[in-house]
Amino acid sequence: AQSVTQPDIHITVSEGASLELRCNYSYGATPYLFWYVQSPGQGLQLLLKYFSGDTLVQGIKGFEAEFKRSQSSFNLRKPSVHWSDAAEYFCAVGDSGYSTLTFGKGTMLLVSP
């Protein structure tokens, strides 16, 4: 069965500093990997996705993520965090076809002035 681990429940970053959110997955075949962001009281918004090809993927809002098969990881990064990035971030894994997504438990990002 597929699973996702996000080791950090909360992370606090100073505004303007760089960010890295960790995600490790367990999946037998080549995974489809996703990062979603959820602001309070809102639904989830897709930041970026990885299916195949270049292991460094670019997303919206200046985010990027790198797929590392050897480490079963798909970490999310941003070079300079803005206060508006404060939200909860979810990593998810799935496959093609009629698959469902399996989400991690999320990482809450707090941005300090």
Binding stretches for another protein (CB under 8 A): 4, 32, 34, 36, 41-46, 49, 51, 90, 92, 94-101, 103-106
Strand pairing category for 102-103 and 107-112? unpaired
At its nearest, how many Å lie between another protein and the CB of residue 68?
Answer: 20
Minimum gap (Å) between residue 17 Cβ and another protein: 26
In the complex with another protein, the residue whose CB is nearer, 15 or 95, is: 95
* Residue whose tokens read 């919206």: 60
Q: Which residues partner with 8 through β-bridges? A: none
Contact 25, 91 (CB under 8 A): yes
Q: Which is nearer to another protein, 46 or 56 (CB)?
A: 46
